Structure 1
Amino acid sequence: MTKFPFGVNLTLLPAMVPPDYGAYAQVIVDSGVRIVETAGNNPGPIIAQLKNAGIIVIHKCTTIRHAKSAVKLGVNFLSIDGFGCGGYVGEHDITNFILLSRARQELGVPFITVKEAIVSAQETDTALILRRWSNTSRMFSNKLLQEALTVEKTSNTGDFSEIGPYVSGKRGMFS
Structure 2
Amino acid sequence: MTQIPEIFDTAVTRTFGTRLPVVAGGLQWLANAEYVSAAAHAGIISFITAASFPDLEDLRAEIRRCREMCGDRPFGVNVSMIPKLVPGEKTEEVFRLIAEEGVRFVETSGRSPEAFMPILKDAGITVLHKVPSLRYAVKAEAVGVDMVSIVGAECGGHPGMDMVGSMVNAGLADERLSIPWLVGGGIGHGKQIIAALAMGASGVVMGTRFLVAEELTAHPGYKQAMIDASELDTQLTMHSVRNTVRSLRNETTETVAKLERDNPDIGITELLEHVSGKIGRNAYATGDVSRGILSAGHALGFVDRIEPFADIVSRLENEALVALGRLGLAA
Question: For 1:26 and 1:57, how far apart are their aligned partners in 2?
Answer: 14
In the alignment, what sits opposite 1:49?
119
SS at match of 2:277: coil
Assess, with a 3 A threshold, how the Cα gap between structure 1 residues 92 and 168 changes in structure 2: closer, same or farther. Answer: same
Check whether the contact 1:152–1:163 (CA below 8 A) recurs between aligned residues: no
SS at match of 1:128: strand
The structure with more strand, counted as a fraction of residues? 1
Moved more, 23-32 or 85-94: 23-32
Deviations 1:22-60 (A, max 9, x none): 112122222332211111223211233222211111011
The TM-score, its normalising length taken from structure 2, stands at: 0.46
In the alignment, what sits opposite 1:66?
136
Check whether the contact 1:85–1:138 (CA below 8 A) recurs between aligned residues: yes
Check whether the contact 1:151–1:162 (CA below 8 A) recurs between aligned residues: no
SS at match of 1:88: coil
Question: For 2:92 and 2:249, how far apart are their aligned partners in 1?
Answer: 31
Runs of at least 5 residues in structure 1 that lack an aligned partner in the other structure: none
Amino acid at match of 1:118: T
Question: For 1:70 and 1:90, how far apart are their aligned partners in 2?
Answer: 15
Q: Relative CO higher for 1 or 2, CA cutoff 8 Å, sep ≥ 6?
A: 2
Instruction: Pick the aligned partner of 2:179 from 89, 106, 109.
Output: 109
Q: Identity over the aligned pairs, expressed in percent?
A: 33
The structure with more helix, counted as a fraction of residues? 2
Check whether the contact 1:130–1:136 (CA below 8 A) recurs between aligned residues: yes
Runs of at least 5 residues in structure 2 that lack an aligned partner in the other structure: 1-64, 185-204, 211-225, 284-331
Assess, with a 3 A threshold, how the Cα gap between structure 1 residues 130 and 166 changes in structure 2: closer, same or farther. Answer: same
Assess, with a 3 A threshold, how the Cα gap between structure 1 residues 14 and 109 changes in structure 2: closer, same or farther. Answer: closer
1:33 lines up with 2:103 in the alignment: yes
Check whether the contact 1:152–1:158 (CA below 8 A) recurs between aligned residues: no
Question: For 1:72 and 1:16, how far apart are their aligned partners in 2?
Answer: 21
Amino acid at match of 1:57: V
Instruction: Pick the aligned partner of 2:208 from 118, 122, 131.
Output: 118
Check whether the contact 2:151–2:166 (CA below 8 A) recurs between aligned residues: yes
Question: For 1:42 and 1:168, how far apart are their aligned partners in 2?
Answer: 24
In the alignment, what sits opposite 1:13?
82
Instruction: Pick the aligned partner of 2:259 from 154, 158, 168.
Output: 154
Question: For 1:125 and 1:50, how far apart are their aligned partners in 2?
Answer: 39
Instruction: Pick the aligned partner of 1:84 from 145, 154, 157.
Output: 154
